[in-house]
Amino acid sequence: MNHPNWNADRLAYLDPSGIRKVFDLAKNLKNPVNLSIGQPDFQVPDIVRQKAVDSIQNHANGYTVTQGIDAARDALKIREGIQHLQDRELILTSGTSGGLVLALLATINPGDEVILFDPWFALYPNMIRLAGGTPVTVDTYPDFDLPLDRIGKAITAKTKAILLNNSGNPSGRVYPKGQVEALANLAKENGVLLISDEIYSSFTYDTEFVSPVCFNPDTLVVSGLGKSYGFTGWRVGFAHGPRDIIQQMIKLQQFIYVCTPTPAQHAIPAALECDISPLIKNYQAKRDYLSDRLQSAFPHKKPEGAFYLFLPVPKGWTGSQFVAEAIRRELLIIPGNVFGEKDTHFRVSYAASQATLEKGADILLELAQLAPG
Ligand code: PMP
């Protein structure tokens, strides 16, 4: 068909996800060792599945109010410790991604700068640009700590927001309380909105997770339950923040997502009553196994959270070359340049069975012996 180019100019702002590229490369592999997955390998608790089924069977299948049902919102407010705060509001969103989209569309004007930390979750720079903003990257290699002096220097008159991800994808870092507090104060002192993506907050192993909202009540928290309860496909996210911003996000949601899927909303209170600590302990053991086995070949600081290791490639390799070689050996991992400007690392997800972790570690250790190229 001969038709004009109907694609919108704004599509030029989007880099297709490099994770999809790995999946494309891998699609002809029969039985790959898959350490590329960004979702947990455990099953949704029975009671939670039952509540979603009950919602369907009891004919609760229509739209809900835009902000989500009260039973779910109230339960989340308690989990987040914000039930007493009059000037804070909470909205259920369509996954954490949906919350991030609403947050950025509600706050970013064309020309606004948004500071983000490299390595970042790939949605961030893409969505910032789509909202008309300019991503301003602050490098956090090699330890992925928050470089507060450089963050301070990156703030200009155009800075509208700072986007934080704690626990971090891909770094697995959980920022110490002192760094979170200092960042929260820096945002406050400069009148900059701090957006905190806390989707991995349940996945912390050695350090206590601390939200910047404890130090800066104007923080906009965006989070979700998909990773914590194993239902990423149900699209359960939420955001809480200053009432006026959340009101604007509710307004946008009316026209974009309408509401979080209704059966999933009805399962939220039951999910929040489940004790997921055995699952988290199990992930801690997976982290220890993989981190310890790979430490000497790929020296790294043990990450405190999420379910990823972000490891330096051996000398002489680029991240992409190393990953291409891994895929040739049927091991799926993600090159570091998907998450930022450098091509020096690769991401391994340990959200996988012990047998898969063992096979993956064997292949990685074998690769570490190879000459590059
Ligand atoms: N933020 C981060 C840091 C993530 O890693 C992900 C998922 N990979 C998301 C947001 C999106 O999560 P959801 O499935 O809830 O939209």
Best of 39, 93, 165, 227 for a ligand 1 pocket test (most atoms within 8 Å of beta carbon):
227
Residue 52 falls within a domain, yes or no? Answer: no
> What DSSP assignment string belongs to 188-231?
HHHT-EEEEE-TTTT-BSSS----GGGT-TT-EEEEESHHHHT-
Confidence class of residue 14 from pLDDT cuts 50, 70 and 90?
A: confident
Instruction: Indicate whether residue 196 lines ligand 1 (CB < 6 A).
Output: no
Q: Are residues 257 and 295 in the same domain?
A: no
Q: 256 with 113, same domain?
A: yes
Of 20, 39, 91, 97, the residue with max ligand 1 atoms within 8 A of its CB, to mutate for a pocket test, comes to: 97
The model's pLDDT over 65-92, given as tens digits with 9 standing for 90+, comes to: 999 999 999 999 999 999 999 999 999 9
Mean per-residue pLDDT of the chain:
95
Range with the lowest mean pLDDT among 36-40, 43-47, 208-212, 327-331?
Answer: 36-40
- Verify that 173 and 205 share a domain, yes or no: yes
User: Can you give the residue range of the structural domain that contains 81?
Assistant: 61-273
Tokens representing 215 are 């130090």
Same domain (yes/no): 301, 219: no
pLDDT for residue 223: 98
Q: Is the CB of 172 under 6 A from ligand 1?
A: no
Report whether pLDDT(37) > 90: no
Of 20 and 367, the structure prediction assigns the larger pLDDT to 367
pLDDT for 357 beyond 90? yes
Read off the pLDDT of residues 180-189 as tens digits, 9 standing for 90 and up.
999 999 999 9
Provide the whole-model pTM.
0.96
Which CATH number do you get for residue 298? 3.90.1150.10
pLDDT surpassing 90 at residue 13 = no
Q: Which of 253, 273, 293 is the last residue of a domain?
A: 273
Ligand 1 centroid to 36 CA: how many Å?
14
CA distance 244 to 87: 9
**Per-residue pLDDT reduced to its tens digit, 293-332:** 999 999 999 999 999 999 999 999 999 999 999 999 999 9
pLDDT tens track for 205-217: 998 999 999 999 9
pLDDT of 257 strictly over 90: yes
Residue 168 CA to its chain's centroid (Å): 7
For the segment 340-350, the average pLDDT, to the nearest whole number, is 96
For residue range 261-285, what is the model confidence (pLDDT) as tens digits?
999 999 999 999 999 999 999 999 9
Kindly report, residue by residue over 192-247, the tens digit of the pLDDT: 999 999 999 999 999 899 999 999 999 999 999 999 999 999 999 999 999 999 99
Amino acid type, 283: Y
Q: Which residue has the higher pLDDT, 2 or 341?
A: 341
- The arithmetic mean of pLDDT across residues 328-343, rounded, is 94
Cβ neighbours, 10 Å, residue 275: 8
We report the CATH number of the domain holding residue 226 as: 3.40.640.10
Domain termination site, one of 215, 246, 273:
273
38: which strand partners? none
What pLDDT score does 73 carry? 98
B/e letters for 66-97, b = 16+ CB within 10 Å, e = fewer, are: bbbbeebbebbbebbebeeeeebbbbbbbbbb
227 CA to centre of ligand 1 in angstroms = 8
CB 232 less than 6 A from any atom of ligand 1: yes
Mutation probe of ligand 1 site: the residue of 96, 101, 166, 307 with most atoms within 8 A of C-beta: 96
Query: Does residue 373 have a pLDDT over 90?
Result: no
State which of 231, 249, 273 marks the end of a domain: 273
In a domain, 191, yes or no: yes
Which residues face 222 on adjacent strands? 197, 239
Please indicate, yes or no, if residue 138 is contained in any of the structural domains: yes
Q: How many domains does the chain have?
A: 2
Instruction: Please state the rounded mean pLDDT for residues 116-142.
Output: 96
The predicted pLDDT at position 176 comes to 95
- Closest residue by Cα to atom 8, ligand 1, is 38
* Residue 360 and residue 247 share a domain: no
